Each structure stands twice: as structure tokens, then as C-alpha cells.
Chains A and B, each alone.
Chain A
């Protein structure tokens, strides 16, 4: 039997993201949040409307900006969009957190949606003068955008793109039940699970995250070393809670975010991967179906829809074909809905 990835990740050491050689035009910015944390924005400036790109759990902004040819941020900037990659608190270059980075359950996913997201959007609006920003989130990053838009309103957004973001936690599959147990235990006992070292190894674990053949072993190792970030206790606890409650809900369970998505009316693209074992297409489709957006689209990246391969969970941002197949899909959606 395969050992779930999240449990295997317990035994490892932490590294910082690998050095990132950037073209000189990029800019970096630390932004304080309303509760004293700091988030980080990494910008690929361009004259067009702003887009914020948000990573998932145990990841950082490099997921959307790994290297030339594997950077949605560069792709969008090349197509005229002002692309901003966000590090949520505790991830990548965002190192400050209220109460200290290592405090047990110092923050949770609600904080990302209700504090980090408005801070990022506010900073981008202030820097650009643009009234609205497009949100592109991978996995948890899509859920963070959903929390923000459903709770604080979508007035400051001109488009919402969620990639591999599950909003249906009902009837968990056996693998998800074990993951839930691992998250519950991890969230209870540990301030953080450090993932980068093991993520660089070729194991059965990463076949859970990426479809075999979608990137070379060298790329996979390099990518996993770079994008893997700590998984914090509050994240684990809230995901475990959502899986127990079988609801996309706030950490106390008092807010049903899935139901609240009916209030989100901004144009939306929801993308799922046929080979995604973390967020299978039916669980991602629930996010699309819950949105109130009159203009919304759901796409499964798989052979049956003309893609060259079935996409796994992390393949959307960093696989060999992402630049040819996923980035244009996102770019064309944004182009079609960009403010004029």
C-alpha cells in the first residue's frame, strides 16, 4: 500500500527556495497585513491590467514562476498583464507572522483569505492605480481567493481563476481519509511539517502530485526543491476540519464558504486535471458549480479535451506542456475579460 504523501513528509528537513535568477525588470515588495503578518509580492511588470498569482499549500510563489518556460507570471507579462506572484504568510519570501513563525496554529486558511488576500489586492491596487485585480490561484490558492471574494466581496476583482481547487469534501475517498488522519495528527502535534527535502526525491509520493511523464525527473527534482514550502499547523488543522465536516468551511465551522460562493459574480475559469489525485475533477467542479458567476467555465485538462496529456496536481504550473497548453488557456480567458 502506498504511504500517503503527507505522512511521509513528516521526516524531513527544511530548505529555503533555491536562488532565483530573474530578469532585471522584476520587483519585490513586502506588504504588512492587518494583523501584523507580512506577505511578499514578486512582480513581473507590464502595462496591462494586474493579475495576482497565488500558490497552494506547502508551496510558494515560485510555483507560478519557476524558470523560463515554466512561468505563468512571465507568460502573462509577455502578453501585457501586470503579473504579481504572492507568497502567503509563512511561505517563500514571506517570513514574518504574528506571534512568531513557529507558533503552533498561529494562523489558518481563513487568515489567508480574510487578511493576506485583501492586503495583497490593496497593495497591487495602490501600486498600479488599477481599481481591480484578477485572481489566479492554484489548489489552496484558489480556495483562498474564494474565501476572499465570498466574504469580503468581489468588487476588487475583474476575473477569478481557480486551478485544481477542490470545494467538495464529502464522501472522502480512502486516500483522502488517510490524508485527513495525517493532517489531524500533524495539525495537533506539530507547528509545521517541513517538506522540501523529501520532495526532491523520486518516490511514489510525487506520482501522487504529478502524472508520470509530464516532466523529466531532473525538472521534477528541481521544481520540487524550489516550490516545496512548510505546511503549517493551522493549514493542516483547517483542512482536517473541512474533511471531517465534509464542507468547505471556516476553521470554526461557522461559515459555509461553498454556499457563500453564490455571492461571487466575477467571471470565472475553473480548471481541473484528469490525473489530479489531490483535487480530482469532481471535487473541483463543485467550486465551479457553487459560483454565482453568470460567466464561468469549467475545463478538465485531459486527453478527451484535446490536451496532450492528463494533468496532475502540480502539472498545471511546472510541467513540460504547461506553457503550451495551460498558460494560453488562462491567458485567453484573462484577455477575454480584461477591463478595457
Chain B
């Protein structure tokens, strides 16, 4: 159920009614940043896990036509996310931000002074340093939006499948300014000041994440003042090494995430 739009029609905010009966003023607010270019349904298991853990879970989507500027689109998007988090908080608590991939990076950009905690699933914290990413950075991006669902081949692989792995999340249009922003992140890394993110941050890395490879996440994660880093995969006796997309729905990830959130926010065990 779409609950409303921010005044400038920038972000689509949604709160999905569930078994608990919809948003509740007494629950801490959790804003899930839907990764631009990905379908919201990919985030359903994550939202449900947050609701089941006692959070008033909302999603924020960037419409493909969102009027982001060419320069500083990432900081502007971060400002919108901050505003959205402010709009959904119901009490003195700041609320938490949750994001995946580049969406997690946007959440971290938005976090300083706004969020009580951040969950970052496979965030881009530096240049991904892969050949396929460098290939993507060279592709021309026109005006309007880029359709991420369109087939794109590289070395015999479908790029989206390679980067996101199984299960493949639904993809759609991505606004051109954000597409160009991500191309810049691939080459230079995101403009994230780790020291500014002083709230607790929980970072999940998938051992087969090719969008944000673990070797490009773990080092920068250590420079965040209060970060907890967890690698998911066979090295922690998980059934398999998750890719980027699997971080959104693997039970082990969601279980450890909600446990960390409740402990960090002083909510106690369920």
C-alpha cells in the first residue's frame, strides 16, 4: 500500500501492511532504500524480516524520472533519503536505514546525523576493481534512464546475472544521473567519508558478491568508526557462498541482521 509521496515527488515511500497490522507508532522506523534500478519486490523478504523483528518498515524508491542533478546526484539522493527517514519517524528515535549494493552506499551517505544505525548489504565502499565493472563504466549513458533489464553480454555472461547472482532480483529503469554516478563510483569509489558515519553500521558481505567484492568492502569497512562486518558463505558454515542478490533473501543474513539490530538498538531478544 503506497502511503504517500514526499512533497517534491522525489521518493516513493511505501509501508506494506503485514501480519502485524501495518505501521505502528511504537515501533522503531526502518527505511529500506530500494536499490535504484531494482524492483521493490526483491526487498520483500528483507522488509518482512524487519517487520517480524518489530520494526515499522518502509521502502523508499527512486523513480526513474526523479529529478536528480548531474553533478552531486549521490549527495542529493542522500539528502532525499535523510528527509524520508525524518518523515517516517514517529518518536524521538531517529530510525534506521537499510540498503543493498549501491543503495547501501546511498544509505551510508545519508546516515550522518540522521540514522540511529545502518544496515549495509554488500555496499560499494570503494571501486569494485573488477573487469566487468570497468566495462560498465565505459558504456555510454544517454538522457532519461537506462533499462537494467535489457540483456547485456560480457565474456559470454549476462552482466546482470553475473553481478547479482542467483536468485536474480527483478530489474528495471535506472535514472541516467544515477547511472553516471555509479560509473564514477566504479572508477573512483563513492564520496563517502567513513569518519562521518558515527552510528553503528552492520555490513554483510557475500563471498561471491561480484557487485561489491569482499576484498573491496572489508578494508574500507574497517575505517568506519563503529562497523560490524560479517562475511556470509561457507567460511561461516552457510550452505553456499552468496552473491549480491542472495544477500536480500538468505535466511542466515536476515536472521543475523535482525538480531544485530535489536541488540544494537537495545530492543532485547524477540
Contacts and interface: CB of A to CB of B under 8 A. Distances in A.
Interface of A: 1-2, 171, 173-176, 208, 272, 274-275, 277, 280-282, 284-286, 289, 298, 300, 302-306, 310
Interface residues of B, number: 25
Nearest to A281: B215
Question: Shortest 7 CB-CB distances between A and B: which pairs?
Answer: A173-B235, A281-B215, A304-B210, A304-B130, A282-B215, A282-B218, A285-B215
A174 B214 contact: no
Given A304-B131, A304-B163, A272 B215 contact: yes
A163 B218 CA distance: 20
B260 to A, nearest CB: 15
B192 interface: no
B60 to A, nearest CB: 29
Tell me the dominant secondary structure on chain A's binding face.
Answer: mixed
A304 B132 contact: yes
Nearest to B207: A280
Interface of B: 129-133, 155, 157, 162-163, 207-208, 210, 213-215, 217-219, 229, 231, 234-237, 241
A277 B131 contact: no
Contacts of A281: 213-215
A173 B231 contact: yes
A311 B201 CA distance: 31
B213 A300 contact: yes
A303 B157 contact: yes
Contacts of B131: 304-306
Contacts, number: 68
Contacts of B215: 272, 280-282, 284-285, 298, 300
Contacts of A277: 234-235
B235 A280 contact: yes
B236 A174 contact: yes
Contacts of A302: 210
27 contacts: A171-B229, A175-B235, A176-B235, A208-B234, A277-B234, A277-B235, A280-B235, A281-B213, A282-B217, A282-B219, A282-B231, A284-B215, A285-B219, A286-B219, A289-B219, A298-B215, A300-B130, A300-B215, A302-B210, A303-B157, A303-B162, A304-B130, A304-B131, A304-B210, A304-B213, A305-B131, A305-B132
A224 to B, nearest CB: 19
Given A274-B208, A289-B219, A174 B213 contact: no
A203 to B, nearest CB: 15
Given A300-B213, A300-B215, A275 B241 contact: yes
Contacts of B241: 275
Most buried by B among A1, A281, A286, A289: A281
Contacts of A171: 229
Nearest to B235: A173
Contact of A175 (B163, B210, B217, B236): B236
B208 A310 contact: yes
Given A281-B215, A304-B162, A175 B234 contact: yes
A284 to B, nearest CB: 8
Nearest to A2: B237
Given A285-B219, A303-B157, A306-B131, A174 B210 contact: no
A286 B27 CA distance: 42
A280 B229 CA distance: 15
A280 B62 CA distance: 35
Nearest to A179: B235
Given A275-B241, A280-B231, A282-B215, A303 B210 contact: yes
A282 B203 CA distance: 15
Given A282-B218, A285-B215, A304-B210, A174 B155 contact: no
A234 B143 CA distance: 63
Given A280-B207, A280-B215, A302-B210, 6 more contacts: A174-B237, A275-B208, A282-B231, A298-B129, A300-B215, A304-B163
A303 B243 CA distance: 12
Contacts of A1: 237
Nearest to B218: A282
A20 B162 CA distance: 40
A210 to B, nearest CB: 13
A125 B234 CA distance: 43
Contact of B237 (A175, A275, A304, A306): A175
A174 B213 CA distance: 20
A303 B154 CA distance: 10
Contacts of A303: 155, 157, 162, 210
